[in-house]
Amino acid sequence: MLGPFASVKRIVIGRPFSSDRLARQRLPKRFAIPSFAADTVSALAYAPDEIILTLGLSGVGLLALSPWVALAVVAVMAIVVTAHLNVIEEFPGGGSDFVVARTTLGPHAGRLAGAALVTDYVLTVAVATSQAGAYIGGAMSALAPFQTGIAIAIVALLALVNLRGARESARFVSLPVYGFIGLIAVTLMWGGIEAVRGTLGMSPQAGSIPEPGEGAPAALTAIGGILVLARAFSSGLPVVSGIKAITNTVPVFQPPKARNARITLVISGALTATLFVGVMVLASATGVSLSPRQAGGARVSEAIPVLGQIAEAIFGPGAIMAIAMLAMATLVLCIAANTAFTGLPVLTAALARPGYVPRVFAARGDRLVYSNGILLLAALAGVVVLATGANITLLIHMYVVGVFTTFTIGQFGMFRHYTKKYRLAVRLKERQRYGRKRVVSIVAAVCLTVVLLTVATANFLLGAWVTLSAVALMWGVMTIVSRYYARISSRLALEKNDDCGRWPIAAPAPLDGKDPTRGIVLLTQLNRPAIHAIKKAMSSPHLSLQAVAVRTNDSAIDKLSSEWLRREIPIPLRVINSPYRDLLAPLDDYVRSFTRTYPRDAVVVYIPEYLVGHWWESIMHNHVLRRVTTRLDKYERVSICPVPWDLNDPEHSA
């Protein structure tokens, strides 16, 4: 019988999937391309606007350079795509540059790369949903004051969709993304034909360049011009940042995973680059202009977005294609954050395995997705949207610093990786191959360092400092968590040659009229607290005693079983399968069956209990005792016996 919370969860998220359905949750390329291209393609709905808006501060002079800024962004994309083809080939397990940095440069670099990636994913959601809210507010003036609320509602909707499973979210985004790409492609082709014929129209707002005093002086110094170009360049880099999602989520692809991920990466990069350059060239040819004004301390524009102006120039004001373009752009912006909801949970799971974040983020939920990572992303993105008031210009200045920090660290790691392989290679062809890849990695690392410094310098006072501070703070938190897990693991772990000591021999079960008891020791791993719980159970008189482990994680239970046999622990171990990765339901079923088999006997369930010294330490643990006690409290003849172990004094149990 499901409780109220479980019933609501079942209705909202759906029935849980068994672990054997994991393969069916893998994404084929037809779903993977729109799912992972959503981030980069959606940037076409705001990156051109920010470039033109930024260049508009200089007057007419720098606007003519907008296509060249686009080509510079595309050059960066080519470097990132080429470099990350090697990352997927060498590290197909997912985790992207975080795994590269941790493996090749050490744990400190790994935590830095991971912190930068987490920050970028959060800002990806905040930027996309805020721009979607701005589009919706612009289309419906009655909703304009509720832009922040709209953005938060979109975040909540995306979280819900992703909690239902990877394939469900992929299906959700596929049609709108393909439709948006198709509309832009048709517009660009038709515009190209019109340009060749000499009949290409002009934007309705062509020539509306701000006069001196509207935004900035008409004439800039050389340094001022370079700074404006640098900011315009950084405003276009969101079209590159989505590349991270593909390299980070290789495990969600259908086999052959690495090959399909590489194909998806190339297609997504080439498609986005082509569309981006086409949009910027047509924007320049049709005289697209956005007149900036000051509102709440930020530059904003009341003009029709760039895509809308291009469509009106080609198809005419109020044309169906122009309306469809803006409507589809709004829809794609609503789901653009889906790449982050796909990528960040996989990243947090990778961060949890070595203990950089609480281990709860490594557990899959009912629908075979990393539910805790999805909920964390939704919460952090909501906080950022609220804190910035969904101000897209401010968010853009905060954006991309994180991901290019990760890209840069990752490529220095790849250079070190290939250097090691080059030195160990024996065959000439292998040495030549690794030599070429070394060159690619170091060139990419140097170029991305220049890009990172450019972005950080140009936007530092405008918001990049917030991102860099968040990365530093997150790195510090990850370091604290990592050291905590390392300390606890070293204290609790059983070394290979550790002697478990003498096993106690219990007195016979009492025959004085008291109910006879049968003992169960619940285990999740074999460590010092587990051995202590086993010994305590063995020292008590029971008619029978057994250890029980629930198979929620194959590798952990396999390790426990092998250690059990190797150490010759003198009580039987019963492993219960849990196809839905849940501890409580299989244990509940087993205890119910056990009590029915022995209806006259009481059952004592021994559970190791960790005693922590600080409140924050409790976040690091799964609270098995509390959850099991609540679940088994309904059985009259079943009692829970906690076996305390003080984590701050591991030599002596509490």
pTM above the 0.85 mark?
no
Sorted by where each starts, the structural domains of the chain and their CATH numbers stand as 43-482 (1.20.1740.10), 517-652 (3.40.50)
Question: What band does 379 get if pLDDT is binned at 50, 70 and 90?
Answer: very high
pLDDT of residue 216: 43
9-18: pLDDT as tens digits: 444 444 554 4
Look at 5 and 553; give whichever has higher pLDDT.
553
By the 8 A CB rule, do 32 and 253 touch?
yes
Averaged over 547-552, what is the pLDDT? 87
pLDDT of residue 299: 42
Q: Spell 629-638 as b/e; 16+ CB within 10 A means b.
A: eebbeebeeb
By the 8 A CB rule, do 216 and 302 touch?
no
pLDDT of residue 648: 77
Whether the predicted pLDDT of 25 surpasses 60: no
498-519: pLDDT as tens digits: 667 778 776 566 555 566 889 9
CB atoms within 10 A of CB 649: 12
161-188: pLDDT as tens digits: 888 765 555 566 678 888 899 999 999 9
pLDDT above 90: percentage of residues in the chain: 28
Residue with tokens 């006690």: 629
pLDDT above 70: percentage of residues in the chain: 83
Question: What band does 336 get if pLDDT is binned at 50, 70 and 90?
Answer: confident
Q: Spell 54-71 as b/e; 16+ CB within 10 A means b.
A: bbbbbbeebbebbbebbe
Question: What band does 96 get if pLDDT is binned at 50, 70 and 90?
Answer: confident
Report the Cα 174 to chain-centroid distance in Å: 19
Separation between Cα atoms, residue 648 and residue 611, nearest integer Å:
8
- Among the residue ranges 12-26, 45-59, 343-357, 523-537, the one predicted with the least confidence is 12-26
Whether the predicted pLDDT of 247 surpasses 70: yes
pLDDT of residue 651: 59
Alpha helix stretches (DSSP H) within 65-221:
66-90, 96-105, 107-139, 147-163, 166-197
Q: What is the DSSP letter of 355?
A: T
Separation between Cα atoms, residue 229 and residue 251, nearest integer Å:
39
Helix (H, G, I), strand (E, B) or coil at 627: helix
Q: Which among 522, 509, 642 has a CA at the least distance from the CA of 573?
A: 522
Separation between Cα atoms, residue 599 and residue 594, nearest integer Å:
8
